[in-house]
Structures are given as C-alpha cells and as structure tokens.
C-alpha cells in the first residue's frame, strides 16, 4: 500500500460516519443490551429480597462451587496449555501439522458432549473432579494455541544463554521466556474462566451444582423466579470481571514478527512429561468421549431405540435455527463492523463495546432475561422461534462483528474513492468493491455462528417453542435420565452437523484476498 493510500485510509477512519450507518449501528447496540437491561430491571423489582436471597447458604455454596471450579480449570489450563504450546513451538515433532490439529480438536467438541462420552464409559461419574477434568480438556486449547504462536514468533536464544550460565531449564524459561508470552497465556486462561463460569451442560450431566445449575433450577420452579434473576446478575458480574480483565491483557500482548522461528529441540526422553501434556488433552477431551459415543452407537439396542421421526425433526430444527441465526447475526454485525473498521470516535467506541455485551452473557442468562422480557413486554413472542433466534444473535454477535470487521478493514478506502470518481454511486461502489473483498469474512462469520448455534444448550432449553427440540436438547434430555443409548444418535449427528460448517469455514477462510 502506498503512502498516499495509507493517508487516505487514516483519514477515512477519522471522518464522521454517515448518519444512516451511525443510526443502524446504534440500533444494533440497543438490541444487543436488551437482555442485560431487562435482567437488571427484573432484579430490581425484587430489590427487597436481594439481601435475603443472596445471603442464603445455598447461594453461597453455588457461588463458591462456580468460582473454585473456574479457578481450578484456569490453573490446569495454564499449566497444560503452556507446556503443550512450548512443545508445539520448540520441539521438532514428526508430522507437526497433525499435532497442531489434535491440539485444537477439543474446541470442536462441546463440553456436554464430552461429558456424555465419559458417562457412557463410566456411568457413575459425577462431582467436582470429573467436571474439572472435562472442562479442562475443553478449554486448554485456548491457552495452547496463543502460547505456541507467541513462542514461534520469538527467539529462544536468550533462554539458551540463561541455561549456559547455569540456570535450570525451568528457571531459564520462567526468567526469560515467560514474561514475553504471559499476556497471551493469561488471556487464554481468562477465556477458559469465562467458558467455565457459563457452562451448564457438562456440570449438569456430571451433577456438580454451580450458579448456572442454580439459575436453571430456580427458573424451573415457578415459586421463586426472582431468585433466578438475582443469581443471573451475580453470574453476569463474574463474567464481566473476566471479560474486562481479558480485554486489558489483550492490549498488552506485544507485537510479534511475522517470521516463524524454527523448532530447536529434537524429541528425546527427557521431554516425556511435556510430550504427555500435549497428548493428554486430545486423548481425554476427544478420543475417549468419541470412542464411548461410537461404541454405544454401534450397539444393536441403540439402533432399535432410535425414533426416526423425532431424530429427523431435531436435525431439521438444528439446521434451520443455525441458518436463521447466522443470517440475522451477520445482518446485525454489518453496520457495527463497518463503523469499527472505517471510523473512530466516542459513538463508534460505545456502539462496538455494547455489541460485545453478549461475550459476557452466559447463554442461560440471555435465555432467562428474554423469557422475562417476552412475558412482560411482547407476550406473543414468548417461546417463539423469533425470540430464540434473537437470543442466538445476541450471544454470537461479538464473533460475527470481529470477523466482518477484519474483512472490511482489508478493503482500502481509496478504492471506493476511485470507484466514485469514475461515476459510480455510493451503493454501486460498495457492491462492486467492498462486497467481493469482504465476502470471505462474512462467510466466516456465518459459519462461526452456525457452529455455535448447533452447540448452544441453555438458551435453547429456556426459549425453544413447545414441541421443538434440537440435537443439543435431545442429547441433554436423554442423558439427564441416564438414557445413554437413546442419546447416542443425537450426539453423533451433532458432531456431524457441527463439522459441516467447520469444513466450510476452513474453505472460506483460505479463500485468497486481493492485496492492497
């Protein structure tokens, strides 16, 4: 890109946005915060009961369980993820590409699906430690991948110098290397904390009672729904604290050179503990659960238990909801992403920040708040498809905005100026220049949302229309009553449905883009 083009782009990011675009972005921001605002309003209606509710020993127990589980998962992810990332970056592994895929594979398996696979193998599994194990395996890649990237972009020469001066390898790593990769590692840990705090499916299947379990139980009891709202506010406050910390750490991640540093250590026996850390995550997080699923699926009695009509309906509902949510979420993301990619200022900052509120709202909180909202404001939408799709849009809008924003940012503003100077109007220039260049990122956003919708459980449980089930809700319902054989087909189809957008995502993401 020329200097003149860079100046044009910088000017484009500082001028005032068009009124229509600013209004559209503000409208999306308002929609995104409806669940949070109404949840606070609903909680204030029970203001007199706040001290009594929050000081109950049971609430303290649920809060302690959530915090302890999140901290335990975060600590384990930090150790396993840092060790695995170091191996991926520093050790000359055979078939490195395969190890990279295995390290990321647990991200494709929902925690409740992994819990189901373990329950098939060990039906009596329950409590804190199984929940800790399942969630640790699900979240470790959030640390492994950024740590590996940070290490691959930084030289290990200083670490070698420290060892040559008599430092133990671990001391050398902690003294020289850790300060450089700590922001990336801790940012991944904070994502793991947020994931654990918001998890409902795994802890419910494994019978470990956390805040999400308490919220669902309080809502299911028609006698104390105010407690569900108050518990949701507590969970949101915890999640917001994590999100704020993660964003601060993300700003501290240092810029790294684009050139990758080659691995420097051969595979040797002394590295066995670190190599085992790399292998144990996909083994316990993917291989064992999927083996249990496959074994149960191939049993003859499982095939006889399949209700083909219900199975087909759940699959169709999952696909339809995913497509509808992807379309709505991308549509809402476009004005916010356009503002963030092209303009600066207080309005743009506020709109972008409010659109990311869903990142700190667990699915069960969004579902519960929209239940309250629809009953009080728009009863016609209660337990309707529109409310459910809107909940998905709020939850996954941050993912879509991030992807679309990155695509729009790659379109140089001077190309639009050239198009308009040649006689094309604003809309025609946008259609001819911006759309083709940003389309791959829009496709990535749609695939990300579709994958997330297929796996979303708590919001779906609360908002789905009567008689409508998805693969996730069918799987959860059957495992809740220990019908593991009947749940196996739904689990297998869920893996396939989530895999299809993932394959499309890899193809879309690899589409070449024009260089400016």
The domain that contains 114 carries what CATH number? 1.10.3720.10
The pLDDT, as a whole number, for residue 319 is 93
Q: Are residues 483 and 506 in the same domain?
A: yes
Q: Given pLDDT bands bounded at 50, 70 and 90, which one contains residue 171?
A: low
98 vs 7, which has greater pLDDT?
98
Listing DSSP states for 329-383 in one string gives HHHHHHHHHHHHHH--SHHHHHHHHHHTGGGGS-HHHHHHHHHHHHHHT-GGGTT
| Residue at 265 is within a domain | no
The pLDDT, as a whole number, for residue 175 is 67
The pLDDT, as a whole number, for residue 342 is 78
Q: Given pLDDT bands bounded at 50, 70 and 90, which one contains residue 466?
A: confident
**For the chain, what is the mean pLDDT?**
79
Number of structural domains in the chain:
2
Tell me phi and psi for residue 91, to 5 degrees: -105, 135
Query: What is the extent of the structural domain holding 392?
Result: 1-37+305-516
d(CA 137, CA 111): 9
Q: Are residues 24 and 56 in the same domain?
A: no
Q: Are residues 96 and 121 in the same domain?
A: yes
d(CA 142, CA 149): 12
Q: Are residues 379 and 285 in the same domain?
A: no
329 vs 55, which has greater pLDDT?
329
Where is mean pLDDT largest: 15-19, 151-155, 500-504?
15-19
pLDDT in tens, 238-268: 888 877 776 676 555 554 444 445 546 555 6
Q: Are residues 244 and 347 in the same domain?
A: no
pLDDT in tens, 380-437: 888 899 999 999 999 999 888 887 887 777 666 666 666 566 666 566 666 566 666 6
The pLDDT, as a whole number, for residue 11 is 44
Q: Both tokens of residue 84?
A: 């695995």
Q: Tell which phi-psi region holds residue 207, choosing left (phi > 0), alpha (psi between -120 and 50) or beta.
A: left
Q: Are residues 22 and 154 in the same domain?
A: no
Q: Both tokens of residue 128?
A: 């804190």
Across residues 326-352, what is the average pLDDT? 86
d(CA 431, CA 429): 5
255 vs 204, which has greater pLDDT?
204
pLDDT in tens, 429-463: 665 666 666 677 788 788 888 888 988 989 999 89
d(CA 235, CA 232): 5
The pLDDT, as a whole number, for residue 135 is 96
């Amino acid at each position: 890109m020329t200097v003149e083009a860079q100046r044009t782009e910088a000017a484009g990011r500082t001028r005032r946005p068009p009124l229509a675009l600013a209004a559209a972005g503000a409208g999306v921001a308002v929609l995104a915060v409806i669940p949070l605002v109404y949840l606070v309003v609903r909680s204030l209606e029970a203001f007199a009961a706040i001290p009594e509710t929050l000081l109950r020993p049971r609430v303290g127990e649920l809060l302690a369980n959530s915090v302890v589980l999140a901290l335990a998962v975060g600590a384990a992810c930090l150790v396993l993820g840092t060790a695995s990332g170091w191996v991926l970056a520093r050790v000359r592994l055979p078939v490195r590409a395969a190890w990279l895929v295995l390290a990321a594979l647990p991200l494709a398996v929902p925690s409740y699906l992994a819990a189901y696979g373990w329950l098939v193998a060990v039906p009596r599994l329950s409590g804190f430690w199984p929940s800790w194990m399942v969630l640790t395996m699900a979240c470790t890649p959030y640390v492994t991948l950024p740590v590996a990237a940070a290490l691959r972009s930084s030289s290990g020469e200083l670490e070698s110098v420290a060892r040559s001066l008599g430092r133990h390898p671990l001391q050398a790593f902690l003294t020289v290397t850790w300060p450089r990769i700590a922001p990336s590692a801790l940012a991944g840990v904070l994502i793991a904390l947020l994931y654990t705090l918001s998890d409902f499916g795994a802890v419910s299947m494994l019978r470990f009672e956390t805040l999400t379990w308490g919220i669902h139980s309080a809502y299911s009891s028609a006698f104390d729904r105010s407690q569900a709202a108050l518990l949701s506010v507590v969970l949101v406050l915890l999640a917001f604290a994590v999100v704020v910390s993660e964003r601060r750490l993300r700003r501290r991640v240092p810029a790294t050179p684009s050139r990758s540093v080659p691995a420097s250590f051969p595979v040797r026996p002394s590295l066995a503990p670190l190599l085992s850390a790399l292998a144990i995550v996909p083994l316990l997080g993917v291989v064992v659960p999927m083996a249990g699923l496959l074994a149960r699926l191939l049993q003859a009695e499982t095939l006889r238990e399949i209700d083909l009509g219900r199975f087909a309906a759940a699959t169709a509902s999952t696909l339809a909801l995913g497509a509808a949510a992807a379309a709505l979420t991308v549509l809402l993301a476009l004005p916010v992403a356009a503002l963030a990619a092209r303009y600066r200022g207080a309005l743009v900052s506020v709109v972008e920040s409010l659109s990311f509120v869903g990142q700190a709202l667990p699915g069960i909180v969004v579902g519960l708040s929209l239940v309250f909202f629809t009953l009080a404001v728009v009863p016609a939408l209660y337990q309707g498809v529109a409310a459910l799709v809107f909940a998905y849009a709020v939850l996954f809008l941050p993912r879509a905005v991030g992807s679309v924003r990155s695509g729009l940012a790659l379109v140089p503003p001077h190309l639009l100026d050239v198009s308009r100077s040649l006689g094309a109007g604003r809309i025609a220039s946008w259609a001819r220049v911006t759309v083709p260049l940003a389309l791959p990122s829009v496709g990535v956003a749609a695939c990300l949302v579709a994958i997330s919708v297929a796996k979303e459980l708590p919001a779906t449980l609360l908002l789905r229309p009567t008689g409508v089930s998805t693969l996730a809700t069918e799987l959860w319902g059957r495992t809740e009553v220990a019908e593991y054989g009947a749940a196996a087909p739904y689990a297998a189809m869920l893996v396939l449905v989530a895999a299809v957008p993932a394959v499309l995502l890899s193809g879309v993401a690899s589409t070449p883009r024009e260089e400016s």
